[in-house]
Amino acid sequence: MLARRLALLALALVVASAVIFAVVDLVPGDPAVFVLGTGARPDTLAALRQQLGLDLPWPTRYARWLGGVLTGDLGTSLAYKAPVAGMILDRVQVSLPLALMALGLAVAVALPVGMLAASRRGRPADALAMGAAQVGIALPNFWFAMLLVLVFAVKLRWLPAGGFPGWSDPLAALRALVLPAVALALPQAAILARVLRSALIETLGQDYIRSARAKGLSRAQVLRRHALRNALIPVLTILGMQFSFLLAGAIIIENVFYLPGLGRLIFQAISQRDLVVVQSAVLVLVAAVILVTFLVDLAYAAVDPRLRGR
Amino acid sequence: MIALKDLSITIASRQVVCGVSLPLEPGKVTALVGESGSGKSMTALAAIGLLPEGARASGRVDLDGQNLLDLPERAMDALRGRRMGMIFQEPMTALNPLMTIGDQVAEGLRRHRGLGRAQALVRARERLDRVGLPAARFPLGLYPHQLSGGQRQRVAIAMAIADAPDLLIADEPTTALDVTTQAQILDLLRGLVRDEGMALWLITHDLAVVSGVADHVAVMQQGRIVEAGATAQVFRTQAHPYTRALFAAARHVPAPSGGTAGGGPLLRVEGAVREYRLPRPALFARRPVLRAVDGVSLDVGIGESVGLVGESGCGKSTLARAILGLDALQGGAIRLDGAGVGPRMPKAQRAQVQAVFQDPFASFDPRWRVDRLVAEPFHLTGRPADWRDRVAEALAEVEIGAEAMSRHIHEFSGGQRQRIAIARALIIRPRLILLDEAVSALDVQVRARILDLLARLRRQHGLAWLFISHDLSVVRAITDRVLVMDAGRIVEEGPTGRILSHPLHPVTRRLVAAAPILPQL
């Protein structure tokens, strides 16, 4: 089964690379003109095209690009004249830990809140928890981020207001990521808590919950031992989607905290028409999404024996 | 000994159970019979302390001189599973799908006796062996989806009796099972009562089951026990009119439909083969094929009523789907009135056959009103201008008033819903109606009225029925001819009366022998 999934994973990556290549490379528009501007002299343009390999037929260019990707060479940025692989790697060092921290925080908050709300369904604790979740979803996270900066960086001076010192000092790096992670986690935690609550409530109405109560399990035991795991499937689906979003979608928060993350890199590359960077960065993100989906599928099978062996 | 004394239950200030007293003697089977909604299940849930939120119980549930209704929830949790266990109607959903059967049986032991997992699993093994799931074929590590309905009900029983409780409550434990499995489960329960001396409280609507199993019986009507005593005595005297009415309904046979049958075949199935591809066992392995219907041939004449019986998994429902033209065949042919049947048949052909299914709750869109639900088959024929009159007419035929048209389906009882389902099937005047366990979910009295209705409609419209069921008493009551199916093949067929009284094939014999029968008085 794993072999089958891995084969599908590889196929998805190849298809994704082809689509990205087609979109970036085959659509009208000349990267050489983007670099040199519309006023450039034709012979300069031709020289640059040759230097970039744009004069070659597209199958050769695709093969070259894919070959480069496989050997870790993602090309050279048009704007910065630097290897794209290194640039992306630098940004991943910020974005990946940030996404993981935010997701961890979201789960840590959502799990108890969702369980509490489900077990006290229709009571004040439920109303309070779901009201808070509603606020969490509604709050614009850049506003919440600025609030966090004001309180914890400016007033209390516990944490830095922005910037990223690099991983040479891990403690400082982590401290720099705390506030952005909290700002990112809030709406995700609220969404997760709501999904978990409704999944739990549905599960708690199932016949096997009644069977478990008839065995003598208390409400709390039934919730923990039987309902929670059965409610995990929708939660895992949401988690996978959230992780993909957090990896590149954190651009607003990255801007608020001056973090050199992937989102900002792509944003800058697009505005500078740095197509080599766009192409490779998008590929990396797509690969990450496909990989996360793969991991979520594996997690489904780990949770649910009925999905094993398919 | 556990005894109910003057137990009453109210839900939202409405009294649903009223002054019920019932002793549950050790080593005996006590049955509580009555129609759905009579309060049987509520009474049982009150005894075990699992009433739904909003329900209030008063009176006494007496255990060792203690009133369980006074106990706090924590104390009840400690009693449940140790002094009393319970099993429910639907075995397919009664087990946690993510937990091995071993762990599910062991769980109560760990909770009540503080056993470690290994010790609890040893005991769980013994209990699973006892309920007929031997270690060789049913290791502890199996998951519920790897078991059939009957096997799952055995696991549920093992769970409930893991700690040898004084009382086992079984709420319609065999209603969802086919007759053969039902007989095996009832045997198992009887054996447990005999060997372990527990009291068994059997809740059922099936009088035949009661007469075969129970020592004592109490008949419940609208929350009250109207008659109680030793089963043989109660069934012989039938002192209360309600008991008599239940018996009459269970034995009910509609008036003969009067020989509209005959006149050439309407439906002709010839060598039908229906195969499913299973998931591949390995990456490049071929997908194994399951042959669910294996060369079936049958005819249904114009206006004929034909029964199709067999154990669960024999291929009845797969065959039904093919006859409805929902799935393509892998071999053979199905012809209706001479024209081919299949997924791509024209709408006019599809309009010739309609279906009524078992679950009157799941077969309607809850958001639609009744007029739209009943008018739905018109998409096959084109909706006539007078469609609302036609809907009213179809409803009138099933004895539902026209005022029902503007209501939603949840406002109707199970019997009414099944009538509406029949009206929906009738509205475009099909020539064949396929009834897949269409009366299995209904109470005896409701069932008797639906059977009368079906017989009358057949007479009036010259309809042909294909009646799929595991309930032989119903098949006996309303079909002319019966087909017995096993492992995808028709193994025996002939006139219903002869086949059911003189079965020849072993499968038919097994079905007939397993069917519980009402005592002839």
Q: Where are the domains of chain B?
A: 1-40+167-251, 90-165, 265-277+288-514
Task: Check A226 against B96: CB less than 8 A apart.
Answer: yes
Are B219 and B185 in contact, with CB atoms under 8 Å apart?
no
Beta strands, E only, B88-141: none
For residue A34, what pLDDT is reported?
Answer: 72
Interface of B with A in 50-69 (CB under 8 A): 50
Rounded to 10 degrees, the C-alpha dihedral A193/A198/A201/A203 comes to -100
Give B371's Cβ-side CA count (13 Å radius): 13
For residue B215, what pLDDT is reported?
Answer: 95
Interface of A with B in 58-117 (CB under 8 A): none
Disruptive mutation site among A2, A121, A206, A208 for chain B (greatest number of B CBs within 10 Å): A208
Task: Give the chain A residue whose CA is nearest to the CA of B106.
Answer: A215
Chain B CB within 8 Å of residue A2 CB: no
For residue B33, what pLDDT is reported?
Answer: 92
Interface of A with B in 4-23 (CB under 8 A): 4, 7
Give me the tens of pLDDT residue by residue for chain B, a chain 521 residues long: 899 999 999 988 889 999 999 999 999 999 999 887 788 989 999 999 999 888 899 999 999 889 999 999 999 999 999 999 999 988 888 999 999 999 999 999 999 998 999 999 999 999 999 999 999 889 999 999 999 888 999 999 999 999 999 999 999 998 888 888 899 999 999 999 999 999 999 999 888 899 889 999 999 999 999 999 999 999 999 999 999 998 888 888 887 665 555 567 899 999 999 998 877 766 677 778 888 899 999 999 988 999 999 888 888 889 999 999 999 999 999 999 888 898 988 988 999 999 998 877 788 888 999 999 999 999 888 888 899 999 999 998 888 888 889 998 888 877 888 889 999 998 998 999 999 888 877 788 888 888 888 888 888 888 899 999 888 888 888 899 999 999 899 999 999 999 999 999 999 999 998 888 777 65
Task: Check B98 against A4: CB less than 8 A apart.
Answer: no
Separation in Å, CA of A161 to nearest CA in chain B: 46
Rounded to 10 degrees, the C-alpha dihedral B207/B213/B215/B217 comes to -20
Chain B CB within 8 Å of residue A27 CB: no
Higher pLDDT, A244 or B187: B187
Range scoring the smallest mean pLDDT among A128-132, A244-248, A286-290: A244-248
Q: Which CATH number fits domain B1-40+167-251: 3.10.20.600, 3.40.50.970, 3.30.70.270, 3.40.50.300?
A: 3.40.50.300
H-only helix segments in A55-158: 58-70, 84-119, 124-138, 141-148
Task: Check B96 against A217: CB less than 8 A apart.
Answer: no
Task: Check B50 against A213: CB less than 8 A apart.
Answer: yes
In this complex, how many residue pairs, one in chain A and one in chain B, have their CB atoms less than 8 Å apart? 82
Using the predicted structure, report yes or no on whether residue A25 has a pLDDT greater than 80. no
Q: What is the ipTM of this complex?
A: 0.82
Residue A197 φ then ψ, to 5°: -60, -50
Class of domain B265-277+288-514: alpha beta
Q: d(Cα B415, Cα B442) in Å, to the nearest integer?
A: 6
Task: Give the chain B residue whose CA is nearest to the CA of A229.
Answer: B98
- Contacts B278 to A, Cβ<8 Å: none
Tokens 């004069």, located at residue: A55
Class of domain A84-307: mainly alpha
Query: To which H or E segment does residue B433 belong?
Result: strand B432-436
Are B388 and B371 in contact, with CB atoms under 8 Å apart?
yes
CA proximity to A240, closest of A195, A203, A181? A195
Using the predicted structure, report yes or no on whether residue A285 has a pLDDT greater than 90. no
Are A210 and B50 in contact, with CB atoms under 8 Å apart?
yes
- Contacts A230 to B, Cβ<8 Å: 96-98
Separation in Å, CA of B73 to nearest CA in chain A: 8
Task: Check B96 against A3: CB less than 8 A apart.
Answer: no
Separation in Å, CA of A134 to nearest CA in chain B: 27
Separation in Å, CA of B333 to nearest CA in chain A: 32
β-strand partners of B228: B218
Are B31 and B230 in contact, with CB atoms under 8 Å apart?
no
SS3 state at B408: strand
Rounded to 10 degrees, the C-alpha dihedral B375/B378/B384/B386 comes to -20
Disruptive mutation site among A1, A6, A8, A211 for chain B (greatest number of B CBs within 10 Å): A211
Task: Give the chain A residue whose CA is nearest to the CA of B113.
Answer: A216
Are B311 and B470 in contact, with CB atoms under 8 Å apart?
yes
Chain B CB within 8 Å of residue A218 CB: yes
Sheet-wide strand order for B84-87: B84-87, B167-171, B199-204, B29-33, B216-221, B224-230
- Contacts A303 to B, Cβ<8 Å: 98
- Give residue-wise pLDDT tens across range B319-376: 999 999 999 999 999 999 888 898 988 988 999 999 998 877 788 888 999 999 999 9
Task: Check A306 against B145: CB less than 8 A apart.
Answer: yes
Task: Check A211 against B88: CB less than 8 A apart.
Answer: yes
- Contacts B160 to A, Cβ<8 Å: 214-215
Q: Which amino acid is residue B221, in one-letter code?
A: Q
B19, B34, B61, B204 from B43: Cα distances, Å: 10, 12, 10, 13
Task: Check B94 against A216: CB less than 8 A apart.
Answer: no
Task: Give the chain A residue whose CA is nearest to the CA of B89.
Answer: A207
Residues 6+ apart with CB under 8 A from B17: B7, B8, B9, B39, B42, B43, B46, B57, B223
Residue B28 φ then ψ, to 5°: -125, 160
Are B75 and B159 in contact, with CB atoms under 8 Å apart?
no
Q: d(Cα B254, Cα B272) in Å, to the nearest integer?
A: 32
- Contacts B88 to A, Cβ<8 Å: 207, 210-211
Disruptive mutation site among B76, B77, B168, B278 for chain A (greatest number of A CBs within 10 Å): B77
CA proximity to B393, closest of B333, B480, B295, B461? B461
pLDDT band for position A70 (cuts 50, 70, 90) = confident
Task: Give the chain B residue whose CA is nearest to the CA of A302.
Answer: B98
Chain B CB within 8 Å of residue A229 CB: yes
* Domain boundaries along the sequence of chain A: 2-70, 84-307
- Give residue-wise pLDDT tens across range B99-134: 999 999 999 999 999 899 999 999 999 999 999 999
Residues 6+ apart with CB under 8 A from A147: none
Separation in Å, CA of B67 to nearest CA in chain A: 18
β-strand partners of B254: none
Q: Which amino acid is residue A250, in one-letter code?
A: A
For residue A228, what pLDDT is reported?
Answer: 94
Q: Which whole number is the average pLDDT over A266-277?
A: 84
Task: Check A230 against B145: CB less than 8 A apart.
Answer: no
Q: d(Cα B367, Cα B347) in Å, to the nearest integer?
A: 25
